[in-house]
A and B are shown apart, each in its own frame.
Chain A
Amino acid sequence: MPLALDVAGLRKVYGPVTALRGVDLQVQEGELVGLLGPNGAGKSTLVKAACGLVRPTEGRVEVAGAPAGSLAASRALGYLAELFRFPDWCSAEEVLVFHQRLAGSDGGAAERAALLADVGLADAATRAVGAMSKGMQQRLGLAQALIGSPKLLLLDEPTSALDPAGRRLVRALLERLRERGVAVLLNSHLLTEVEQVCDRVTIIAGGAVVAAGRPADLSKPGGVEIETGEGVRRYDTAGRDEVPRIVADLVARGEAIYGVTVLRSTLEDAYLEAVAGASTGDGASAATAPPERAPAP
């Protein structure tokens, strides 16, 4: 079975600017991959290349086994752009009908109703786009991207205009899509969101992949914190395996133990480290700020 998204050696040059320098990225069916990176890193260019909106200078981009931009690839994907608009004179229903026709979807009214319900717009089917808030338009954009049950969903900052409730709704929707086998490439600046929902993360800086892996693998041990009767004791170099020994020593010394927390660096720490390393030309050693501590999951 072909990969939902297969990017190999992708290079993109805009005049004097090299936006992507040989990026490799694969997304499997049912996999949710987060795409992270600072502004100007090349994330949107990568997503647009996958959509066929941008032509690669070099390299290969395939969607469900078909070259990006081909009709076969377009039939397999759904896309929500970072900056998009629907005609403000259209109702939500009309937007979806238009895209159903373009996508060749035969889902009809049932598909439209289900999609609007999925994004929490069931009561806004007849509302004009021009009368919708930014958040509602973004949710409509998400519904539009899901028309025709795509195999691959490319989301470029899908929650940037959403309130916390809207973000939670989108996270739940992404979980359901993963269960249905839909592959998702999620480009977002919201690291906690990516950490919560993504199976894997790819960090891009300066047009190149500087780190990739599962969120848990990208984070590093950050020590152990033990709450005792004397206060909180920190063991910065200790790991999870050393907790029983440390606790036994403390108990042997007569200290009361109230809680133990194994610390790991956050995805944000890993991100900052990777990005800083790229900007200094040092793979992953330099960090601009000391890592914040967070409880391990």
Chain B
Amino acid sequence: MSPVRVIAAFALRESLRRRVFVVVAVLTVAFLVLYGLGVWQVYQEVGDFDVDETGVEAEVVAGATLLGLAMFGTLFLGTILAVFLTLGAVRGDAERGLLQPVLVRPVERRTLLLARFLGAAAVCAAYVIVVFVAAAVLTWAAGGWWPDRIVMPALGLAAAVALLAAIALTGSVFLSSTANGIAVFMIFGAGLVAGLLGQIGEALGSDTLDTVADVSSWALPFEALYQDALAGLTADTRGFTRLAISLGPFGGAQAAGFLLWPFALAYLAAVGFVASRAFARRDL
């Protein structure tokens, strides 16, 4: 068995034994139950709307808005998982004396980083895909609405949390666990705020806000992946319904274009390179 698989499997087993996954599963079920209840209640109200008079398909607006909300919640939960699985991987574990016995084995330091990243990314990606698809199914079951795209938004969410896991892992090389956790959540929050500013800028026609959002998206591509995934939910929706969705809190997202995925991969590689270089030079 390769060292990558050994270390990744060990990290996953630790999460299982520490009941991380049990806690996450229970709380996620609670989240989905709450979401399902909310969706059902909203569609009860929306059923009374008259489509012909307004030209807006209310069930589409409701579905897109609610699933956008679920997508935000899923990203947030996935980020929490990603950060807590990686925030102490290097300095935290070294300070606790857990890392040294592993690093004196014939294992490259970059192998350890890769294993920790793959383990965390696999768990978080699978998690957000499952939760997002479950939310989409709940929305369809309650209101009969299904998003215009499902696969790419799910993959976009998965890639976003994988990037956040990589950022948290890199932070763990430089920062103590607490400082790293705070830093990553602040980066996450900054990215989301920048994205919201971009949506507001789009609605207001503000070039400055658009520029801020663009720069933030390149600097923090997890935000661009999230926005792209959000835009995918209503990619084929047009007319007044499109306009109504755009006015909502999750409707102004912009598709990022074909460069997003190659850029995200390059960004991931760059983050990995920085982490690997810094870790290789670190005295423990």
Q: Kindly identify, within residues 104 to 156 of chain A, every residue whose CB is under 8 Å from any CB belonging to chain B.
A: 104, 141, 144
A86 an interface residue at 8 Å Cβ cutoff?
A: yes
Residues of B within 8 A of A99 (CB): 101, 105
Contact of A87 with B100 at beta-carbon distance under 8 Å, contacts A74-B105, A102-B6 already known: no
Cα distance A99–B102 in the bound complex, in angstroms: 7
Verify B283–A81 contact, CB threshold 8 A.
no
Contact of A101 with B1 at beta-carbon distance under 8 Å, contacts A74-B104, A74-B106 already known: yes
Closest 5 CB pairs of A and B: A102-B105, A74-B106, A84-B97, A85-B97, A89-B17
In the complex, which of the residues A48, A54, A79, A89 contacts B101, with contact meaning CB atoms closer than 8 Å?
A79
B219 an interface residue at 8 Å Cβ cutoff?
A: no
Verify B283–A14 contact, CB threshold 8 A.
yes
Verify B100–A75 contact, CB threshold 8 A.
no
Verify B97–A75 contact, CB threshold 8 A.
no
Verify A87–B14 contact, CB threshold 8 A.
yes
Cα distance A79–B108 in the bound complex, in angstroms: 16
B contacts with A: majority SS: loop
Residues of A within 8 A of B98 (CB): 84-87
Residues of B within 8 A of A141 (CB): 101
A83 an interface residue at 8 Å Cβ cutoff?
A: yes
Verify B108–A83 contact, CB threshold 8 A.
no
Verify A71–B104 contact, CB threshold 8 A.
no
A260 an interface residue at 8 Å Cβ cutoff?
A: no
Verify B283–A54 contact, CB threshold 8 A.
yes
Verify B101–A71 contact, CB threshold 8 A.
no
A278 an interface residue at 8 Å Cβ cutoff?
A: no
CB distance from A182 to the nearest CB of B (A): 16
A103 an interface residue at 8 Å Cβ cutoff?
A: yes
- Flag A67-78 by CB within 8 Å of B: 1 or 0 each: 000011011010
Residues of B within 8 A of A4 (CB): none
Interface centre among B10, B105, B281 (most CB of A within 10 A): B105
Cα distance A86–B106 in the bound complex, in angstroms: 18
- Flag B115-152 by CB within 8 Å of A: 1 or 0 each: 00000000000000000000000000000000000000
Contact of A53 with B100 at beta-carbon distance under 8 Å, contacts A48-B284, A102-B6 already known: yes
B179 an interface residue at 8 Å Cβ cutoff?
A: no
Verify A102–B283 contact, CB threshold 8 A.
no
B201 an interface residue at 8 Å Cβ cutoff?
A: no
- Flag A39-62 by CB within 8 Å of B: 1 or 0 each: 000000000100111110000000
CB distance from B191 to the nearest CB of A (A): 33
Residues of A within 8 A of B106 (CB): 71-72, 74-75, 102-104
Verify B3–A102 contact, CB threshold 8 A.
yes
Q: Kindly identify, within residues 99 to 115 of chain B, every residue whose CB is under 8 Å from any CB belonging to chain A.
A: 100-108
In the complex, which of the residues A53, A86, A101 contacts B104, with contact meaning CB atoms closer than 8 Å?
A53
Nearest CB to that of A70 among chain B residues? B106
CB distance from B267 to the nearest CB of A (A): 29
Nearest CB to that of A98 among chain B residues? B10
Verify B108–A71 contact, CB threshold 8 A.
yes
Residues of A within 8 A of B97 (CB): 81, 83-85
Cα distance A75–B1 in the bound complex, in angstroms: 16
Residues of A within 8 A of B14 (CB): 87, 89
CB distance from B131 to the nearest CB of A (A): 26
Contact of A77 with B104 at beta-carbon distance under 8 Å, contacts A83-B97, A85-B96 already known: yes
CB distance from A20 to the nearest CB of B (A): 12
